[in-house]
Amino acid sequence: MINRYKNLQLIQQLDPEKDHWQICYLILGYEFPWDSLRALEVALMRTYCIPSISKLLNKTGEFIHRPQKRYDDTSIMLTEIIKWGYESERGQEALQKMNSIHRRFQIDNTDFLYVLSTFIYEPIRWNQRFGWRLMCENEKLATFYFWRQIGQLMDIENIPDTYQEFERYNLDYEKANFRYSDDNRKIGESTRDLFISWFPKWLEKPLKPLTYTLLDATMLDAFGFEHPAPFLCRTVEKILKIRGRILQFFPAPNQSDFFIDHPTRTYPHGYEIAKLGPDIKS
């Protein structure tokens, strides 16, 4: 009989602080690849609810004129770091590229901290709602230690020392800074339309309210989006929970689809890390 929990058994034997990259590799590559990707998309959407962040993003024009490239560039850089590790040659190149892009702009350290925190806690919250199993403590802590290390390599200051402290920062920052702005709406609409563009044109109308079901009320208000019907939210939530229950009966993948070098919409013939990012002169 195939052991669906073989990766969990390995993860529970690892040290979440010392072995955080190995654990995150298993989480994103084998245990929750689809869920992690969806959760990180929601995480990025949450950051656009902060007017100071969306104002800067709107100013660059990347989200309005090249949303698919912006999405692909971000996805590629993060995947390179997660797949190969931040100490590898490819991981270091991706980190250096990401840092060089960020240095072109004046970004407040508190905004950096908040964005970093969403990469930790949104996947964990998604897992609590829709995962085929709940993350164990080692997985939660390893996620914190992994992204904290990434933050340190990005020269982000004042990163909290514990999982609980950083989660409190995440919640308090949202409470203090989530509010509507026209920039939020422009970036939110552009990102929403990007997601919808991946499907056939005739699905555009029904997909819009479906997209909104994955955003909570504070996000919808910050974007100025209409709230979807409660029955639609319940239906989508039930479908995702059923999907999670069904996955329990499938064997763990022997090869990670998350880490396979699929052609992207922006780079159908491959990419060079050095050429990623906006074409903006420093």
Q: In this structure, is residue 278 part of a structural domain?
A: no
Angstrom distance (rounded) from CA 134 to CA 157:
31
**Residue range 83-135, pLDDT digits in tens:** 999 999 999 999 999 999 888 888 899 999 999 999 999 999 999 999 999 99
pLDDT of residue 217: 97
65-70 CB contacts, 8 Å cutoff, 24+ apart: 66/278, 67/190, 67/191, 67/193, 67/194, 68/194, 68/197, 68/265, 68/266, 69/266, 70/278
Question: Residue 215's closest CA among 196, 231, 202, 228?
Answer: 228
Question: Residue 11's closest CA among 134, 97, 121, 114?
Answer: 134
pLDDT of residue 64: 83
**Residue range 14-49, pLDDT digits in tens:** 999 999 999 999 999 999 999 999 999 999 999 999
Q: In this structure, is residue 175 part of a structural domain?
A: yes
| Two tokens, residue 116 | 């970093």
pTM score, two decimals?
0.93
Do 97 and 276 form a contact (C-beta atoms < 8 A)?
yes
Q: Taking the mean position of all CA atoms in its chain, how far away is CA 40?
A: 2
Do 170 and 121 form a contact (C-beta atoms < 8 A)?
yes
pLDDT of residue 27: 96
Q: In this structure, is residue 191 part of a structural domain?
A: yes
**Residue range 191-200, pLDDT digits in tens:** 999 999 999 9
Which structural domain, as residue segments, surrounds residue 60?
12-249
Residues 6+ apart with CB under 8 A from 111: 50, 52, 53
3 pLDDT more than 80: no
Q: In this structure, is residue 19 part of a structural domain?
A: yes
280 pLDDT more than 60: no
Identity of the amino acid at 253: P
Number of domains in the chain: 1
**Residue range 231-279, pLDDT digits in tens:** 999 999 999 999 999 999 888 777 777 777 777 889 988 899 998 988 6
Q: In this structure, is residue 271 part of a structural domain?
A: no
Q: In this structure, is residue 79 part of a structural domain?
A: yes
Q: In this structure, is residue 218 part of a structural domain?
A: yes
pLDDT of residue 2: 58
167 pLDDT more than 60: yes
Q: In this structure, is residue 229 part of a structural domain?
A: yes
pLDDT of residue 33: 92
